Homo-oligomer: A and B are copies of this chain.
């Protein structure tokens, strides 16, 4: 089942982390080389007819005008058409979505989708951060923390979620991250560690949060009917979804759900012709522990208010009913905005091809789901459903 007009035939990324010794150009180049080297039957870069590159905050590290040539100029393909996409936290995923449209439109047979973000060696506070982002207090206190923490407070009030249950999300993802050589954090923690970690913005503590990280990732897409030129094990784009919400926090309808996710998930499931129960694994947006709990519900993995049961019963563990963030998620890998969504699809590609090594989850139905939500007022979401089933 599914759209399946576009196939993924290569995928690569670099280990995420504090990459002070690598410029964004080198990060992109390495991810690109890992991607094209991954193509089973070999790959000629001249086959790439267009590109899409996601980067959300280049101005934070002094790059104010990153157009399409920031990708093509660096990987030896100057000339090739390329669009830069920015869409908040789903930036990388939306680069893939637009790349898929480029292929499905019939205009390009083979395209590259890439994402990167360099977040560690530039100030996000201090003078530069204030100039770029606005002063955190003068701009109505809108920071990532102050957007997500109130959701946790309201959700705890409405559904009786506890801090311990939120902490379990971090514990699960940290456990998974130990097995992921691409993750920034690779050591286990306990619920007590989370509860005792520094409070950042009530009710979220330090270990409830994903880190800031440098990273890059790439995927190669082509027309589904020519995928066998590159591999006998293509992964298809079964469904694509995107959704928005209001631009200002005070306008949104709910503090216990992300409307943008609900919309994008609905679009993706409809296009794929499947439902949440058909998903074998999901890489979902856990920028904070509360986010993953709400994601479970917005993505239809459980009913409203049942997210806490899913995590308590271990259903989203790597060996559970619906493994979520087998990679360790944003909490372990970090969240280099432009790279995050692409890297989630790279992870799904590996699992659907049963190449994820020690952290491989069981593939039953053949579907994996990618999800991001964020940006201004948490008002942008992308969901991509990948499948190893041609029909």
Contact = CB atoms under 8 A, between A and B. Distances in A.
Interface string A247-259: 1100100000001
Given A101-B101, A105-B5, A134-B62, A375 B244 contact: no
Contacts of A242: 50, 68, 81-83
Given A105-B105, A242-B50, A376 B83 contact: no
Contact of A65 (B84, B100, B376): B376
Interface in A84-120: 84-88, 90, 94, 97-98, 100-102, 104-107
Contacts of A101: 98, 101-102, 104-105, 107
Contacts of A380: 67-69, 82
A263 interface: yes
Interface in A51-74: 56-57, 59, 62, 64-70, 72-74
Chain A at the B interface: mostly helix, strand, loop or mixed? mixed
B376 A107 contact: no
Contacts of A259: 78-79
Interface string A285-299: 000000000000000
A264 B81 contact: yes
A132 to B, nearest CB: 5
Contacts of A247: 25, 69-70, 73-74, 78
A74 to B, nearest CB: 6
Nearest to A91: B67
A336 to B, nearest CB: 15
Given A242-B82, A259-B78, A67 B379 contact: yes
Nearest to A102: B101
A242 B245 CA distance: 31
5 pairs of A and B residues whose beta carbons are closest in the complex: A73-B247, A81-B242, A69-B379, A104-B105, A131-B131
Given A5-B105, A101-B102, 18 more contacts: A57-B65, A59-B132, A62-B139, A67-B244, A68-B94, A69-B247, A69-B260, A70-B247, A73-B246, A73-B247, A74-B247, A78-B246, A79-B259, A81-B241, A82-B87, A83-B87, A98-B102, A107-B240
